[in-house]
């Protein structure tokens, strides 16, 4: 049994600015309207696998943190950043950008590619789904526009 929520149809969307240091065109600061679609797999008992509204709330809590912010990957590798009380300075290649700290979301990933973002968002959702014993795994897809995105599959660890 699986249950699916479409991010465009169900308004699970957010807007954010990002840059991909290793990519020619995408290394320039630009933005997307993102949509997050989620499929959860598990064993249905009684009526529900999970209430749609509860799942939507879980997804919204994760994506609301990124909405209308600049996504700065915080894992080392492709760029460097420093934070002080008011600003975040990002540098890669010959570029240097300074953002207001409150406008930045530090993304726990090496890149803000769709692949890495689907994995990051999926992991955050998975943490909240641990208390649902019937759910075994989920698929999280993020799209940078309708029909263009990446999906991550994550098993739920119930401990
Ligand atoms: Zn982009």
Give the model confidence (pLDDT) of 63-104 as tens digits.
999 999 999 999 998 899 999 999 999 999 999 999 999 999
d(CA 25, ligand 1 centre) in Å: 9
How sure is the predictor about 47, in pLDDT bands with cuts at 50, 70 and 90? confident
Backbone angles phi, psi at 48, to 5 degrees: -115, 150
The CA angle 106-109-115, to the nearest 5 degrees, is 120
For tokens 């699970």, what's the residue?
12
How far apart are the C-alpha atoms of 41 and 43, rounded to whole Å?
7
State the CB neighbour count (10 A cutoff) for residue 114.
20
Average pLDDT score over residue span 138-151: 95
Average pLDDT score over residue span 116-136: 95
Average pLDDT score over residue span 23-39: 96
Give me the domains of the chain, ranges plus CATH numbers.
2-73+109-155 (3.30.479.10)
81-104: string of b/e by CB count within 10 Å (b at 16+)? Answer: beeeeeebebebeeeeeebeeeeb
Residue 78 is predicted with a pLDDT of 87
20 and 28 Cβ atoms separated by less than 8 Å? no
The sign one gets for the Cα dihedral 66, 4, 144, 75 is positive
d(CA 97, ligand 1 centre) in Å: 16
Please state the pTM of the whole predicted model: 0.94
Catalytic annotation, residues: 26, 68, 144
d(CA 17, ligand 1 centre) in Å: 8
Helical H runs in the chain? 52-64, 114-129
Radius of gyration (C-alpha) of the chain in whole angstroms: 17
d(CA 128, ligand 1 centre) in Å: 27
d(CA 26, ligand 1 centre) in Å: 6
d(CA 101, ligand 1 centre) in Å: 21
Q: Is the pLDDT of residue 123 over 90?
A: yes
Two structure tokens written together for 132: 């649902």
Two structure tokens written together for 26: 């995408």
pLDDT-wise least confident of 4-8, 11-15, 75-79: 75-79
């Amino acid at each position: 049994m699986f249950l699916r929520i479409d991010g465009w149809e169900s308004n699970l969307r957010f807007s954010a600015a990002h840059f991909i240091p290793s990519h020619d065109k995408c290394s320039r600061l630009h933005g997307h309207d993102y949509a997050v679609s989620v499929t959860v797999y598990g064993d249905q008992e009684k009526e529900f696998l999970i209430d749609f509204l509860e799942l939507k709330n879980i997804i919204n809590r994760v994506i609301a943190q990124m909405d209308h912010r600049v996504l700065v990957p915080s894992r080392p590798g492709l760029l460097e950043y420093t934070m002080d009380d008011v600003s975040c300075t990002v540098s890669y290649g010959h570029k240097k950008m300074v953002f207001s700290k409150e406008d930045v979301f530090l993304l726990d990933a090496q890149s803000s590619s769709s692949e890495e973002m689907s994995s990051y968002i999926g992991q955050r959702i998975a943490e909240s789904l641990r208390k649902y014993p019937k759910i075994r795994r989920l698929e999280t897809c993020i799209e940078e526009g309708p029909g263009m995105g990446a999906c991550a599959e994550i098993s739920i660890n119930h401990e």
